[in-house]
Amino acid sequence: MSTTAEPERRDVLVCIKRTPAVGARIALTDDGLAIDTRHLGFTMGPHEECAVEEAVRIAESHRAAGGTARVTVLTVGPPDAAEQLRYAISMGADEGVLVEVPTEELDPEPTAASILAGLRSAPDTRYDLLLFGTDSAVAGNAQAGIRVACALGLPMVAGVKGIRFDDSGLELRRGTPAGIEIYRVPLPAAVGVKEGINVPRYPAVTGRMRARKAPLRTVPGEPAAGGLRTVALRRPREDRPETVVLGSGAAAAPAVVDVLAELGVV
């Protein structure tokens, strides 16, 4: 991985996850072990989308300063996950890597192993910065990035909402209930990005056209078994608003006054 001694080049890898675009009531499969995605579209998680945007901004800033930069986006999933890679390219990423596995629903251990397989498939490429979403929108395990960083011997900070490069490496900011924490880490490093670090751009038409034709590199995933097993999924309790008819005409006036009094309006 390149270091701060090579300021003319900056390579960033962003790991994203294909997730169902849930905007309505979630349906489960008959066995209760998975989300029924037959009538759902797919997207990337909000943390990962912010990570892609941050990587593109880092590359744009570095190029504006006279250097060269490259943003690679990697995902672990089935062939359909190429859709999310192309969307990231339409946002400004340069290339996509699909680590192909039969399903998106891997636990953190095989996910991290497959990401590492993707990195090993390009041994001549060295990344200054690896960006992850702090956790996935589906499982929320918050482990894949940490496992990859540990395997590579990289410093890792998650929950980050501010990234700045300086002479010594990175300055990272993370919000806590007590205030702002500031970390300084050397490069190369891994960072878990949190939604809110930026506002992701909407891809332009030119970006979408470029992404449609962009070649994707496909790598076989790591057939690790993992240690987690889904026992059952359960929808959260739904609190539905209840409508109470207070009456009609003048007869409803006392009940309306009582409600207003309860609300402190009168």
Task: Tell me the pLDDT band of 25, cut-offs 50, 70 and 90.
Answer: low
pLDDT digits (tens, 9 = 90+) for 58-97: 999 999 989 999 999 999 988 999 999 999 999 999 999 9
Residues in the chain: 266
What element of type H or E holds 48?
helix 46-64
Give DSSP secondary structure letters for 228-263.
Answer: -------PPPP---------SGGGGHHHHHHHHHHT
- The reply to whether 93 falls in a domain is yes
136: closest CA among 181, 192, 80? 192
- Number of domains composing the chain: 1
Decide if 4 is inside a domain. no
Burial of 126 (0-12, 13-18, 19+ CB in 10 A): middle
Buried b (16+ CB within 10 A) or exposed e, 133-160: bbbbbebeebbbbbbbbeebebbbbbbb
Indicate the residue type of 163: I
Tokens of 113: 């192993």
Q: Between 97 and 224, whose confidence is greater?
A: 97
Measured CA to CA, the distance from residue 260 to residue 266 in angstroms comes to 6
Helices 205-213, 82-91: crossing angle, 10 deg rounding: 140
Q: Report pLDDT for 4.
A: 45
Q: Is there a domain that residue 95 lies in?
A: yes
Residue 110: per-residue pLDDT? 85
142 found inside a domain: yes
Predicted confidence band at 107 (pLDDT cuts at 50, 70, 90)?
Answer: confident
Give DSSP secondary structure letters for 33-45.
Answer: SSB--TT-EEEE-
Percentage of the chain modeled with pLDDT above 90: 44
Q: Work out the average pLDDT over 221-249.
A: 72
Task: Give every CB contact of residue 265 below 8 A, 6+ residues apart in sequence.
Answer: none
Task: Determine the average pLDDT of the residues in 14-25.
Answer: 80
DSSP 122: -
User: Of residues 18 and 33, which shows the higher confidence score?
Assistant: 18
Which residues are paired to 2 by β-bridges?
none
Instruction: Note the pLDDT of residue 261.
Output: 86
Q: Assess if residue 3 is contained within a domain.
A: no
What is the pTM for the complete model shown?
Answer: 0.80
Task: Kindly calculate the radius of gyration of the chain based on its CA atoms and give it in whole angstroms.
Answer: 23
The CATH number of the domain holding residue 141 is: 3.40.50.620
Tell me, yes or no, whether 2 lies in a domain.
Answer: no
Cβ contacts of 72 within 8 Å, gap of 6 or more:
11, 12, 13, 14, 93, 94, 95, 96, 97, 125, 127
Q: Is residue 82 domain-resident?
A: yes
> pLDDT for 241-265, tens place per residue?
777 777 777 777 888 888 888 888 7
Lowest-pLDDT choice from 27-36, 155-164, 172-181, 211-220: 27-36
User: Measuring CA to CA, which residue among 72, 91, 73 is closest to residue 11?
Assistant: 72
Q: Which two tokens stand for residue 137?
A: 């929108």
Mean pLDDT of the chain: 85
Q: What domain range is 97 assigned to?
A: 9-262
Whole-angstrom distance, CA of residue 55 vs CA of residue 93: 8
